A = this chain, B = another copy of it.
């Protein structure tokens, strides 16, 4: 409905620009009585925080969250939870060039075409800085679904995929790429270094797995859990593709190959495969929910590109300033947050309709 909100029973609204005084989120519909303090939110923001390695933007933002409402004596009250993060390190002088001409592939031209004006400082509202608000909101959503374990990680960067045989869960937090394959992480480091030095940028594919989702969450058709997850992930900056389970790969399988056979299990059915990514008919099956999304390489690059100026004349643009050479890296905690928000909302919706 409104442009900057997401969710139904658990609904959040974000606001703020890259170079305004602050950004924030209002989380509405949260169940009452959940233990919540800033210490529950901060660790997730810290995972997404820029400036932690040479592979992300050098903008220095402490990303300290404040909870301004909705909590009393350490418990959620059921009323809206306002989360605010101040912007500390804005250097608006960097952006005069962006005000003059459009970065191809960026939102610049489209915003001007839609609104007739735009805030060019750091991309304004279209900046990936907005995703900090989502991570903060996602931290609240996690409290609603304590039974669910979420992990997002990169499975491909700059065309180099991980080797699934090397998959090591513990490795994800050991390298600056949220990469579960140490060998791939090393190759990515080289590749990204080269791109950064060349004034270029790289794309990436991020995967998120949610374990512990019981069968029955989600809805048929327009609110298929797949559709909600697709909407949630495609709404993240730079994302241009989303798939559930085998996704595009499923289109190449036969009906027998793609079936996820069932056997009696101790606690509901046991599935012998998970091509469906944990969702059938739009409803969770009890298997792990698996989502994958692709991020394009950022269009803010040092290499000059042909473009037009606001006055319509031909020009070239190269984007000086501080940018992530691969926005896919910091998208991993953002994806986790969005998946958490979808699942928490689905849980409340399911409980509302069915009482379970």
Contacts and interface: CB of A to CB of B under 8 A. Distances in A.
Interface string A296-309: 11111101011110
A42 interface: no
Interface string A101-112: 010111111110
A113 interface: yes
Contacts of A104: 259-262, 271
A247 B77 contact: no
A126 to B, nearest CB: 5
Main secondary structure of the interface of A (DSSP, over half): mixed
Contact of A248 (B69, B205, B224, B282): B205
Interface stretch (A48-56, A162-170, A176-184, A238-246): A238-246
A11 interface: yes
Contacts of A243: 240-242, 248, 294
Interface string A169-211: 0000000000000000000000000010000111111000000
A261 B33 contact: no
Given A262-B104, A313-B264, A200 B255 contact: yes
A264 B308 CA distance: 6
Contacts of A251: 156, 159, 203-205, 241, 294-297, 328
A7 B222 CA distance: 10
A355 interface: yes
Interface in A244-280: 244-248, 250-264, 268-269, 271-272, 275-277, 279-280
Contacts of A349: 9, 352
Give 10 closest A-B pairs by Cβ, nearest first: A107-B281, A352-B352, A201-B255, A241-B243, A203-B251, A110-B283, A241-B247, A113-B215, A32-B115, A231-B231
19 contacts: A3-B28, A3-B79, A3-B223, A31-B354, A32-B115, A72-B121, A77-B115, A79-B220, A102-B262, A105-B280, A110-B280, A130-B221, A200-B254, A203-B251, A222-B231, A224-B235, A230-B230, A247-B294, A258-B299
